[in-house]
Structure 1
Amino acid sequence: MQERLPELNKKLDAVRTSIAEVIVGQQALIDKLLNALLCNGHVLLEGVPGVAKTMMVNSMANALDASFNRLQFTPDLLPGDVVGTQIYRDGTFETERGPIFANLVLADEINRAPAKVQSALLEAMQEHQVTLGQQTHKLPEPFMVLATQNPIEQEGTYALPEAQVDRFIFKLIVDYPTMDEEHIILRRMAKTAPKVSVTQAASLEDILELRRHLDAIHVDEKIERYILRLVAATRDPSAYGLDELKGYIRFGASPRASIYLALAARGHALLRGGEFVVPDDVKAVLHDVVRHRIAISYRAEAEGLNSDAILERIVETVPVTE
């Protein structure tokens, strides 16, 4: 297994290079998307329109030769438009598979669809399968949902159910590019037919093989205890000397946060070429894993605090070792 790892890491570097043929900057974000894919997780992307969220996902699919479908979520969307349906034809029911049957599925502006459509994704995200009628259909592997939401416009949107938000391994914030990066984007894209395709650099089999390497990365019990303390501090900050946060958190992160923190830390270690997890791996993924799993109070919002600021205070205070 270890003999293949250098070759697979070279392919990951080639994937990064391939995506960079179209996407300028955002290297850290690309690594986080690759980490989520290696961890068999799903991603919630939040950013203003025009920051290349769709193009980034499409480029990653092309670089891996993965099937890709884009779903534009709207208020009139039906569950069958996502997962598919059964059609009665010539005396029998035939299954019409929906766009969810792809390796990478982009759910664009997911918060514009009503709850019944959002909940149609739950089984697919958790079980990697879809039930149509009395038949269960397995989704292709690897399978990953990347959902986007616009943080600016709230009119005509529906808040995601907590059960669904908790199933995303990461919530990633897509920010504006720097001026120098935007200058490069301008030169590349201000054309009638800009380059939007990338070169295939790896295969889905490579991703599945890397997942087996990820499971073999060692997580020491001291690291596991550190992860548990970080998550526990979001539920009972006073127990860790964070009395000032008690009025800012309505409820803390679920046990799924601990699971995903350990998994994502393994992924971060793999992407940097490590064989075991260190505290910096945990800190590197903490915000992305936990920011959407804690609910802040109205008092925190009134004082201009968000979950990232609270997590930063927790990281500063909770000790790495007991």
Structure 2
Amino acid sequence: MYKNLIQAIQKKVIGNDFKIKISLATILSGGHILIEDLPGTGKTTFAKSLTSAMNLKFKRIQFTSDLLPSDIVGYTYLKNDEFIINKGPIFTNIVLADELNRASPKTQSAFLESMEEKTVTIDKETFELPNPFSVIATQNPSDLSGTSLLPESQLDRFTISFSLEELDKNQRIEMLKSKNENILIKSEFKFENSIEQISKININDNVLEYLDNISEYIKDNYNNTHISPRCLKQTINLAKSLCLINSSEYVTYQEIKDVVPYVLRHRLNIVEKNEFFNFINNEILNKVPLPDDK
């Protein structure tokens, strides 16, 4: 089923095969995705293709400098001497926060409760968000005009981040020839079945120890870095979801190695983003011994 799901997405998204897979795993784990890239590189198409293939409800919010928190979560108004609640576009399964860092910090903070608690508070009344709920946010590089940095508290709520890969020559020709803009992605995917299967994925204590060792190695060797318990829990849940997509019944060291660079990319400011994955693999993952190797 997951192979067919990925193939359906690839009809609209050229290249970035592993990023499609890990993004599916993130949504299955209830996590959130941050895509950072230049305008016009296909971020929105990528996000819409994922949600369409998973048969989930989808809404898009275009962030601008004058967007207000009430434009996202909703508001109350008086009608016939009665207060009516008008729920905002955040009440959906997958919300695309397009160009998130173009909004003010106050507006960005409207996502904090929803991304962590899966609830929204409107005028002191709290509402449950639909299940599943995930945020796919896109942001322009911070050196572009009209952008503001995301606070660390919000960055830590995103499970993974990445930039879409530059296509090779053959892929670029394929993209230019493509007439797939209006293709409707159809699949038989059912979210509920996947959640039940993820709960049956096992993870050994040695694998948990390996993940903790990675966290300790980073703290000991790189000052002013913070690996939160939330981050470690997200890594475990993401690795389990990736196992499900790979038709595996238990998490191995390899799944941890596969997901850690994506989990840490927006949390660690150690090297330039375009060098980050090589750095994590060469300077961290390859230097932390497996528990069995002690």
Alignment correspondent of 1:240: none
State the match for 1:29 in structure 2.
Answer: 19
Q: TM-score, normalised to structure 1's length?
A: 0.85
In the other structure, the counterpart of 1:123 is: 113
Report whether the alignment pairs 1:224 with 2:194: no
Question: Structure 1, residues 11-35: CA drift from partner, whole Å, max 9, x if none?
Answer: x222212212222222211111101
Aligned equivalent of 1:320? 290
Alpha-carbon distance between aligned partners in 2 of 1:285 and 1:230, rounded to the nearest angstrom: 12
Residue type at the aligned position of 1:220: N
Instruction: Determine whether 1:187 maps to 2:157.
Output: no
Kindly indicate whether the alpha-carbon contact (under 8 Å) linking 2:162 and 2:265 is maintained by their aligned counterparts in 1: no
How far has the Cα of 1:310 moved from its partner?
4.2
Q: Name 2:67's counterpart in structure 1.
A: 77
Large movers: runs of 4+ above 6 Å = none
**2:124 matched to 1:134?**
yes
State whether residues 231 and 257 of structure 1, in contact with CA within 8 Å, keep that contact through their aligned partners in structure 2: no
Q: Which amino acid aligns with 1:210?
A: S
**Aligned partner (choices 178, 185, 188) of residue 202 of structure 1:** 188
TM-score by length of 2: 0.93
1:145 aligns with 2:132: no
Aligned equivalents of 2:276 and 2:13: distance in 1? 28
> How far does the alpha carbon of each residue in 1:38-65 deviate from its partner, in whole angstroms, 9 at most, with x for none?
1110011111222211112212222222
Asked whether the 8 Å contact 1:48–1:150 carries over to 2, the reply is yes
Q: Sequence identity of aligned pairs in percent? A: 32
Asked if the contact 1:22/1:198 (under 8 Å) is kept, the reply is no
Deviations 1:120-145 (A, max 9, x none): 10111111111111322211111110
Deviation of the 1:307 alpha carbon? 4.5
**Which deviates further from its counterpart, 97-106 or 132-141?**
132-141
Q: Give 1:216 deviation, angstroms.
A: 1.5
Deviation at 1:195, TM superposition (A): 3.3
Measure, in 2, the Cα distance between the counterparts of 1:109 and 1:196: 23
2:5 alignment counterpart: 15
CA distance in 2, matches of 1:310, 1:234: 12
> Does the 8 Å CA contact 1:46/1:173 hold for their aligned counterparts?
yes
Distance 2:214 2:229 in 1: 12
Q: Which residue of 1 aligns with 2:155?
A: 165
Partner in structure 1 of residue 196 of structure 2: 212
Q: If you compute each CA radius of gyration, which structure gives the higher value, 1 or 2?
A: 1
> Match of 1:57?
47
8 Å Cα contact 2:57-2:93 kept in structure 1: yes
1:263 deviation in Å? 1.5
* Aligned equivalents of 1:161, 1:55: Cα separation in 2: 26
- SS of the residue 2:286 aligns to: helix
Amino acid at match of 2:253: P
* Residues 1:153 and 1:65: Cα distance change in structure 2 (over 3 Å): same
SS class of match (1:48)? coil
Provide the rounded CA distance (Å) in 1 between the counterparts of 2:276 and 2:176: 34
Query: 1:234·1:294 contact (CA, 8 Å) conserved in 2?
Result: no
Determine the structure 2 residue equivalent to 1:281. Answer: 255
Contact 1:45 1:172 in 2 (8 A): yes
Does residue 292 (structure 1) correspond to residue 292 (structure 2)? The answer is no
How far apart, CA to CA, are the structure 2 residues paired with 1:108 and 1:199?
21
Shift of 1:67: 1.3
Q: Is the 8 A contact 1:291 1:307 kept in 2?
A: yes
RMSD: 1.9
Distance in structure 1 (CA, Å) of the matches to 2:93 and 2:241: 19
Q: Which residue of 2 aligns with 1:243?
A: none
The CA distance in 2 between the partners of 1:208 and 1:173, in whole Å, is 29
Asked if 1 retains the 8 angstrom alpha-carbon contact of 2:9 and 2:50, the reply is yes
Is the 8 Å Cα contact of residues 142 and 149 (structure 2) preserved in structure 1?
no
Letter in 1 for 2:208: E
Give the length in aligned residue pairs.
291
Structure 2 letter corresponding to 1:311: I
